Amino acid sequence: MDYETVVGLEVHSELKTKSKIFCGCSTSFGADQNTNVCPVCLGLPGVLPVINEKVVEFAIKAGLALNCEILPFSKFDRKNYYYPDLPKNFQTSQFDLPIAVNGYLDIEVNGETKRIGITRVHMEEDAGKLVHSGSIATSDSSLVDYNRTGVPLIEIVSEPDLRSPEEAKAYLEKMKAILQYIDVSDCKMEEGSLRCDANVSLRPRGSEKLGTKTEIKNLNSFKMVQRGLEYEVERHTEVLEEGGKIVQETRSWDEANGMTVSLRSKEQAHDYRYLPEPDLVPIVVDPAKVEELRRNLPELPDARKARLMADYGLSAYDAEVITASRAMADYFDETVNCKADAKTAANWVMGEVSKHINAAGIEIEACPVSPTKLAELINLIDKGTISNKIAKTVFEEMWTTGKNAATIVKEKGMVQISDASEITGIIDKVIADNPQSVADFKAGKEKAIGFLVGQIMKQTKGRANPEMVNSLLRERL
Amino acid sequence: MELFRYTAHQLHSKLKNKEVSAVELTQAVLDRTDAVESSVKAYITQTRDTALAQAKAVDNKINNGEDITVLSGIPGVLKDNICTKGVKTTCASQILAKFVPPYDATVVEKLASQDTVIIGKANMDEFAMGGSTENSGFHPTHNPWDVNVVPGGSSGGSAAAVAAGEAVWALGSDTGGSIRQPAAYCGLVGLKPTYGRVSRYGLVAFASSLDQIGPITRDVTDCAHVMNVISGYDAKDSTSINSAAPDYTKSLTRDIKGLKIGLPREYFVAGMDADVEKAIYKAIDQLVALGAEYQEVSMPHTEYGLSAYYIIAPAEASSNLARYDGVSFGHRTEGTDIVDMYKKTRSEAFGAEVKRRIMLGTYALSSGYYDAYYLKALKVRSLVKQDFDKAFDKVDVLITPTTPTPAFKIGEKSNDPLAMYLQDICTIPVNLAGVPAISIPCGFSGKLPIGLQIIGKPLGEETLIRTAYAFEQSNDYHNRLAPLGEVK
Amino acid sequence: MEFPEHNDLDGEIMKITRKDVETVALLSRLEIPEGDIEKVTGQLNAILEYVDVLNKVETANVEPTAHVLPLKNVFRQDEVKPSLPRELALSNAPEQEDGYFKVPKIVEG
């Protein structure tokens, strides 16, 4: 049986406001346990919430960037359930009137653009963190840190339009880029500011009806999302092919063992008993304000990608990679603004720069080579002062010492040799010293020329202009 | 007359004239408490030392020639569901028996800014659920007019303390009548403000869309003074009305000429006590003699309002009380795992009435029943509110009995929750509509006080105070004191 | 959460069953002793019967009132205010360790 995979994703993103959604505690990450708390976010008897206006603004921006309709009337509701990371044993969220609905984002898969529907975007408060020795299942007790309770979240729910784990990963990457571009979230999965739960089901290809779905939690990176979905798709397939039925349940991704584990206990699914939050009054959105926010949205990833392709002739692939994060796109733009050639800049950003920041485990914002310095290096290559190969060495030096390209080239005497007579002199010497290779080449072995080129480069410590070496060498042979 | 028998405004004059010091006054009230508390049991916590320190500070101000306001140095008590920083706040529940809030309610901050003296926290029905204070998780309170009789509830401790002379003024809270009914049963003035007029920040929530804090005092003048201190916009309460409160003492005129009174026929129930009926009609005659006119009005959804309340209040309460789980504050009973701990903690430390209402509320909100119960009740609430809107198109205030009967004996109704609920028939619709209402003494049934309720338009407290004051000053019920002797 | 099927309202009195009471108790994290379930069921039923009069009211075209006040858009600025000192935040904790609140073993559900 040919099964079609159907995936929907629920993304939670922490909004980067300074204070929490309902109180003035700081949202800063990494504070000592229970130091960013107050009576309100602790849910002590008698406290009341007051909405942070920036949260609403950020949520509307996210809705707009995701092409949603902003609802003119929106409200908060209580979602009631018991869990120790939830001080009030209810979460203040939005149920039937979320801030934004009916949007979409586009992803590139195999060179094709696919539109993924977004059902809704709503605001809610985050819960605290639980710490246990070992795993939650084996631990005798747990420790609770409420710093995170009340940190503002938006929950973004996609339509079940994704058809593969790869598409899911692409969706997440695009979502992350969009949220970063509009500067509402840091989207750092490793810090928990971006989280994802996946819903997956299979159905016979061609069928309209959705199969029974399972939810996967504990997917803490984009890779885990992909692997978790791959595993679950396989599991569903096995069950169905054996004639079994998929049990609708929530499962947890077990990274260590590469599998999903059922979280379902004997108790049934939660009855959240939603009720309108009586301590908060409704939000009536001013259309003029929405238009202002819409007008002031920055250039979004797709538009930026299109611009890079149009203005600089970058390929779709290159433009996609560069605009995948706002920081990288900014870095690229700045480099080009310093008069570096766009295509060269693209190669360097995607190449050496990315290689180095990934190896160092840092973000591009922390790159020790600034766009200005990179632009300078690129211009040296384009002017012919140094070869591309030498430039890589220079970059290495720039990275470690912080010096600029010109200084390093001068100090290390790396200026490219482009003087024909000088090169010719060296060529003649190499030809004289390597008669066998010369003979081989003349006998038809093309590879022998590579050896000769290598010898010439060795003599010049790599400084000889490669193109000139090649053309002049062939002339002399 | 003993010091503790005077009203706040009378005592203010004595303080200003240096006839008595704040410390002497506070000590007199504390002494009175010592003498009668064993038969009244109005208190959960007494804060004697801080009270005397607060009084001393006021005396210093007076001696330095600094200005003081009417409530400065005057000892009052707060219902124990109002959070007081550093002072145990229990809501009369075992689950909060040792809870010490790390913050003050907004009304407490406001009172402190007026240098009032707080002498303790008053007993109540647990989490404000009840009409007699018999549901307190600690002990019942006795009515100073007859110690075998309930003081009313849920602000029974607050009312009993003031009626017994154990406090000069008090704050209570009112969700379905919990200020007005105990005020009526104890011969006092009790006012439930318009919803949103007084900040709920720091009031432990029972039913968030219905709760309000309000004064329980010996007379209408004191009520106006307390309202002046506690009313007003609070940025910490999103349901707080964003407008400054007026000076309520300006309404202490006696002029009610031309005042249009409405008598809602649905509040004059069959089964109303004969003495209550007589007293209410006598009061109406008195108001007419003072220049008012009355007409009968109909509030056809009154009966449904009661049912709606018994869905809405428990539903909100079931959510508000979910936080009492033994995790980060309050009582904890150890369990084999967290769910076991939740269940044992809540089952052991909540009283029967609280558990009953939580279950009712949970049921009403559960999947499959939300539309039939909660949503339906919210719609009926709209109809109840409309009844008031329509009535106030025709009249300025509504007059009703506060309760259909006077106070009942301790233990008489505690086995029948439904009988208890029916006491609230005159008070509940007011909370549903969010309008203000005041209860003032209007007579006696034997030795038990009877209360007259005056209901006003939204933000109509000034008219209520004016009407109540005019009526009060035409009789001497507010001068009568509970004949509570010393108990040795 | 499966409540047993109840018929549509139209004038019929809703009855809460023993099983309903057990479900509701679980949702509220309350333990009703076996011997009390009958009594509690009876008490809840009495209240629900009383409340059932709601069905007599026509509300098809009535908007629900969740808030009596016509307030909307009540916000605060995105400003950081001081948090509680940790000792105060933990001052009522039944059990704590290392600046955390401590709770017993967590089971799902």
Minimal CA separation from B434 to chain A, in Å? 13
Of B200, B339, B365, the CB nearest to A48: B200
- Across the interface, whether the CB atoms of A273 and B239 are under 8 A apart is answered no
Instruction: Give the mean pLDDT of C41-59.
Output: 88
| Nearest in space to B477 (alpha carbons), one of B212, B190, B215, B188 | B188
pLDDT in tens, B33-61: 999 999 999 999 999 999 999 999 999 99
Minimal CA separation from A294 to chain B, in Å? 28
A280 close to B (CB below 8 A): yes
The confidence score (pLDDT) of residue A475 equals 82
Q: Which CATH number does A420-476 carry?
A: 1.10.10.410
> Where do the domains of chain A lie?
3-291, 299-408, 420-476
Indicate if the pLDDT at residue A190 is higher than 90: no
The confidence score (pLDDT) of residue A177 equals 94
CA–CA separation, A56 and A50 (whole Å): 12
pLDDT band at A454; cut points 50, 70, 90: confident
- B119 dihedral zone (left: phi>0; alpha: psi -120 to 50; beta): alpha
Minimal CA separation from C61 to chain B, in Å? 9
Indicate if the pLDDT at residue C13 is higher than 60: no
The confidence score (pLDDT) of residue C108 equals 62
By mean pLDDT, which of A430-434, B327-331, B465-469 is the weakest?
A430-434
According to DSSP, residue C59 is labeled: -
pLDDT in tens, B356-390: 999 999 999 998 888 889 999 999 999 999 999 99
| Nearest in space to B191 (alpha carbons), one of B200, B203, B179 | B179
Minimal CA separation from A122 to chain B, in Å? 20
By mean pLDDT, which of A53-62, B173-182, B415-424 is the weakest?
B415-424
Interface predicted TM-score (ipTM) of this complex, two decimals: 0.96
pLDDT in tens, A252-269: 999 999 999 987 654 456
pLDDT band at B1; cut points 50, 70, 90: confident
| Nearest in space to B432 (alpha carbons), one of B319, B354, B296, B316 | B316
Minimal CA separation from A65 to chain B, in Å? 29
Which residue of A34, A51, A82, A264 to mutate against C (max C Cβ within 10 Å)? Answer: A34
CA–CA separation, B297 and B19 (whole Å): 50
C83 contacts in chain A (CB < 8 Å): 25-26, 35-38
Minimal CA separation from A55 to chain C, in Å? 8
CA–CA separation, C99 and C88 (whole Å): 11
Indicate if the pLDDT at residue B422 is higher than 80: no
Burial class (CB in 10 A: 0-12, 13-18, 19+), A335: buried
- Across the interface, whether the CB atoms of C9 and B326 are under 8 A apart is answered no
Chains that touch B (3 or more CB pairs under 8 A): A, C
A75 close to B (CB below 8 A): no
pLDDT band at C3; cut points 50, 70, 90: very low
pLDDT band at C77; cut points 50, 70, 90: very high
- Across the interface, whether the CB atoms of B327 and C14 are under 8 A apart is answered no
pLDDT in tens, A366-400: 999 999 999 999 998 888 888 888 889 899 999 99
- Across the interface, whether the CB atoms of B366 and A45 are under 8 A apart is answered no
Minimal CA separation from B9 to chain C, in Å? 33
Instruction: Give the mean pLDDT of B218-247.
Output: 97
Of A39, A52, A283, the CB nearest to C76: A52
Which residue of B379, B421, B425 to mutate against C (max C Cβ within 10 Å)? Answer: B379
| Nearest in space to B131 (alpha carbons), one of B436, B362, B370, B426 | B426
Q: Residue length, chain A?
A: 477
B89 close to A (CB below 8 A): yes
Instruction: Give the mean pLDDT of A208-232.
Output: 93
Of C72, C100, C106, the CB nearest to A284: C72
- Across the interface, whether the CB atoms of C104 and A32 are under 8 A apart is answered no
Give the 3-state secondary structure of residue C103: strand
Q: Which residue has the tokens 């075209």?
A: C61
As given in the structure block, the two tokens for residue C33 are: 């002793």
Average pLDDT, chain B: 95
Inter-chain Cβ pairs, chain B and chain C, closer than 8 A: 176
Indicate if the pLDDT at residue B417 is higher than 70: no
Indicate if the pLDDT at residue A463 is higher than 90: no
Give the catalytic positions of B in this structure. 79, 154, 178
B303 contacts in chain C (CB < 8 Å): 53
- Across the interface, whether the CB atoms of C63 and B239 are under 8 A apart is answered no
Q: Which residue in A has a C-alpha nearest to residue C96's C-alpha?
A: A143
Indicate if the pLDDT at residue B486 is higher than 60: no
SS3 letters for chain B?
Answer: CCHHHCCHHHHHHHHHCCCCCHHHHHHHHHHHHHHHHHHHCCEEEECHHHHHHHHHHHHHHHHCCCCCCCCCCCEEEEECCECECCECCCCCCHHHCCCCCCCCCHHHHHHHHCCCEEEEEECCCHHHCCCCCCCCCCCCCCECCECCECCCCCCHHHHHHHHHCCCCEEEEEECCCCCHHHHHHCCCEEEECCCCCECCCCECCCCCCCCEEEEEECCHHHHHHHHHHHECCCCCCCCCCCCCCCCHHHHCCCCCCCCEEEEEHHHCCCCCCHHHHHHHHHHHHHHHHCCCEEEEECCCCHHHHHHHHHHHHHHHHHHHHHHCCCCCCCCCCCCCCHHHHHHHHHHHHCCHHHHHHHHHHHHHHCCCCCHHHHHHHHHHHHHHHHHHHHHHHHCCEEEEECCCCCCCECCCCCCCHHHHHHHHCCCHHHHHHCCCEEEEEEEEECCEEEEEEEECCCCCHHHHHHHHHHHHCCCCHHHCCCCCCCCC
- Across the interface, whether the CB atoms of A271 and B103 are under 8 A apart is answered no
Could you tell me if A231 and A251 are in contact, meaning their C-beta atoms sit under 8 angstroms apart? Answer: no
- Across the interface, whether the CB atoms of B238 and A44 are under 8 A apart is answered no
- Across the interface, whether the CB atoms of A50 and B238 are under 8 A apart is answered yes
Q: Which residue in C has a C-alpha nearest to residue B102's C-alpha?
A: C88
Structural class in CATH, domain B3-262+393-486: alpha beta
pLDDT in tens, A282-324: 999 999 999 999 999 999 999 999 999 999 999 988 999 999 9
Instruction: Give the mean pLDDT of B331-353.
Output: 96
The confidence score (pLDDT) of residue A383 equals 86
B434 contacts in chain C (CB < 8 Å): 68-69
The confidence score (pLDDT) of residue A264 equals 66
Indicate if the pLDDT at residue B420 is higher than 70: no
- Across the interface, whether the CB atoms of B344 and C31 are under 8 A apart is answered yes
Instruction: Give the mean pLDDT of A228-245.
Output: 94
C50 contacts in chain B (CB < 8 Å): 307, 310, 418, 421
Over pLDDT 90: what percentage of chain B?
A: 93
Set out the domains of chain C in order of their start, with CATH numbers.
Answer: 6-55 (1.10.20)
Instruction: Give the mean pLDDT of B398-406.
Output: 96
| Nearest in space to B372 (alpha carbons), one of C13, A369, A463 | C13
B385 contacts in chain C (CB < 8 Å): 65, 68
Over pLDDT 90: what percentage of chain A?
A: 70
The confidence score (pLDDT) of residue C1 equals 31
For C:16-45, CB contacts with A below 8 A are 26-27, 29
A279 close to B (CB below 8 A): yes
- Across the interface, whether the CB atoms of B337 and C51 are under 8 A apart is answered no
Over pLDDT 70: what percentage of chain C?
A: 85
Indicate if the pLDDT at residue B485 is higher than 90: no
The confidence score (pLDDT) of residue C11 equals 42
What's the pTM value of the predicted model, to 2 decimals? 0.92
Of C75, C99, C109, the CB nearest to A265: C109
Instruction: Give the mean pLDDT of B91-113.
Output: 98
Of C69, C79, C89, the CB nearest to A42: C89
Of B337, B343, B432, the CB nearest to C30: B343
The confidence score (pLDDT) of residue A476 equals 79
pLDDT band at C14; cut points 50, 70, 90: low
Of B99, B236, B322, the CB nearest to A48: B236
- Across the interface, whether the CB atoms of B238 and A46 are under 8 A apart is answered no
Over pLDDT 70: what percentage of chain A?
A: 99
